[in-house]
Amino acid sequence: MRMPFNWAHLFRQAFGSVFGIRNTHRRLTAHRMRALAVFWILFIPHQIFTRICLALDNLLFPGWKKVPVEKPLFITGLFRSGTTFLHRLMAGDNENFSAMKTWEIYLAPSILQRKILKTWKKLDRLIGSPAMKWLLKYNSRSLGDIRFHQVGLWKEEEDEGLLLFLWDSLFTWFFFPDTGGIRDYQFADREMSRGRQKRKLSFYKECIRRHLYCHPVSAVYLSKNPAFTPKIASLKEAFPDARIVYMVRNPAQVLVSQAAWFAFCWNYFASPAEPYPFRDELFEMTRHWYSYPLELLKRWESSDYLIVEYRNLISRPMDTIDSLYKHFNLKMSGRYRSWLEKESRRTDEYASGRRLSLEDVGYNSETVQEHFEDIYESFDFSNTD
């Protein structure tokens, strides 16, 4: 299939990085110029190389096209609602699932790239593994500094990054902090054309086929992607037998943690003009990411989805995953159960560090209570949940 690329979005963002930037979140500081230089130096060559490798997959490994994607399980929900914790706990069950790791998403979405990297690793080992030692140091120093959840090249990560190869992703907002075209991703099923959605998800499905081709033992693909939340209907159309987990958390906690996380990402690549940018846009997005999926899922077969509360996952991870497995008729092996019991004790790694309030990040408690009153009532949330 031809790989679409959102040139209009990229050109708009590139133009906005140079013109009309004074006193905006896109202002050109020394940090921003370094980030842009690194982005353009790495982005274009990697895009070209990846597209060549994806095309060569068709010649060298044609069997990937016949790999079925059966009953994939997608973990969706609000950002900062426990999706990472659930994803990594479930990814430990490699008898049932296969999930993409960071290096597979960003460095090697093609089969050929993965073969090249594995061959390179073997050759590197023959000379004492100097490259691998450097990568381990980078993984520890650079990726280890990323806050909010642990990031590592060899850790399972959300696969929204695959859509950066089309430059058609909510994640483009992190590199270029302006709101042009972003509503398409925040309200995807409502704002984005059906044809564009189908092309994006067709490419995404092909990436999953390639991944399962490289991991033939695990039959079910496991995804964690909060950015899929506003396009659950399109996701179900692309994967009719998909199972959906929707994570839900107290709105006040989501808004605070989300504002802090987005601010960290924007400061990583740019120099925003205020501590917590785009609060109104994030507020509107969050409201939709509660109301839209909850209303839509009511019309689905109950066997196709499960709503999981963050507070239950954090306080009782074993019970929560047991219930999830029973709901989707999954079998849990003794080996995985033993591993899960050990990992479940590490919930402190997914707890926030310094506690911020709604007022700290620029919101008003009464306004939040008013706009999310139905969510507070539906899930019996309180200010302490």
Contact yes or no for 109/208 (Cβ under 8 A) = no
Q: What is the pLDDT of residue 144?
A: 47
Distance in angstroms between the alpha carbons of the first and the last residue of the chain: 47
Assign 361 a pLDDT band (cuts: 50, 70, 90). very high
SS3 162: helix
- At the fourth CATH level, the homologous superfamily of domain 7-378 is P-loop containing nucleotide triphosphate hydrolases (3.40.50.300)
Assign 256 a pLDDT band (cuts: 50, 70, 90). very high
Q: What is the pLDDT of residue 25?
A: 96
Q: How high is the mean pLDDT of the chain?
A: 92
Contact yes or no for 209/86 (Cβ under 8 A) = no
Q: What is the pLDDT of residue 367?
A: 97
b/e map of 249-258 (b: 16 or more CB within 10 Å)? bbbbbbbbbb
Amino acid letter for position 54? L
Q: Considering only CA atoms, which of 350, 330, 313 is closest in space to residue 93?
A: 330
Residue 356 has pLDDT above 60, yes or no: yes
The DSSP string of 154-179 is TSB--GGGGGGGGT-STTHHHHS-S-
* Residues 6+ positions from 281 with CB-CB distance below 8 Å: 179, 182, 186
Residue 128 has pLDDT above 90, yes or no: no
Query: Which H or E run contains 88?
Result: helix 83-91
Contact yes or no for 34/82 (Cβ under 8 A) = no
Q: What is the pLDDT of residue 12?
A: 96
- Alpha-carbon torsion, ordered 379, 380, 381, 385, to 10 deg: -100
Assign 234 a pLDDT band (cuts: 50, 70, 90). very high
Place of tokens 């019970």: 319
SS3 76: strand
Q: What is the pLDDT of residue 131?
A: 75
What are the Cα distances from residue 110, in Å, to 41, 118, 321?
21, 13, 32
Place of tokens 């069997």: 63
Assign 152 a pLDDT band (cuts: 50, 70, 90). confident
pLDDT digit string (tens) for 265-278? 999 999 999 999 99
pLDDT digit string (tens) for 9-22? 999 999 999 999 99
Residue 299 has pLDDT above 50, yes or no: yes
Contact yes or no for 126/118 (Cβ under 8 A) = no
Torsions phi, psi for 2 (to 5 deg): -65, 135
What is the percent of the chain where pLDDT is above 90? Answer: 84
Q: From the CA atom positions of the chain, what is the Rg in Å?
A: 21
Q: Considering only CA atoms, which of 198, 138, 192, 200 is closest in space to residue 168?
A: 200
Q: Find the mean pLDDT for residues 352-364.
A: 85
Q: Edge-to-edge, what's the strand order for the sheet holding 243-248? A: 97-98, 220-224, 73-77, 243-248, 305-309
Contact yes or no for 329/322 (Cβ under 8 A) = no
Residue 382 has pLDDT above 90, yes or no: no
- What is the rounded distance in angstroms from the CA atom of residue 69 to the CA atom of residue 212? 8
Residue 282 has pLDDT above 90, yes or no: yes
Assign 385 a pLDDT band (cuts: 50, 70, 90). low
Assign 350 a pLDDT band (cuts: 50, 70, 90). low
Tokens of 91: 């990814």
Between 112 and 125, name the one with better pLDDT: 112
SS3 58: helix
Residue 334 has pLDDT above 80, yes or no: yes
Q: Find the mean pLDDT for residues 76-81.
A: 96
Length, in residues, of the chain: 385
What is the percent of the chain where pLDDT is above 70? Answer: 92
pLDDT digit string (tens) for 15-47? 999 999 999 999 999 999 999 999 999 999 999
pLDDT digit string (tens) for 159-217? 999 999 999 999 999 999 999 999 999 999 999 999 999 999 999 999 999 999 999 87
* Residues 6+ positions from 265 with CB-CB distance below 8 Å: 174
Residue 108 has pLDDT above 70, yes or no: yes
> Directed axis angle between helix 317-327 and helix 334-343, to 10°?
140
Tokens of 118: 């594995």
- What is the rounded distance in angstroms from the CA atom of residue 369 to the CA atom of residue 357? 14
Could you tell me how many helices (H) and strands (E) the chain has, helices first?
A: 18, 5
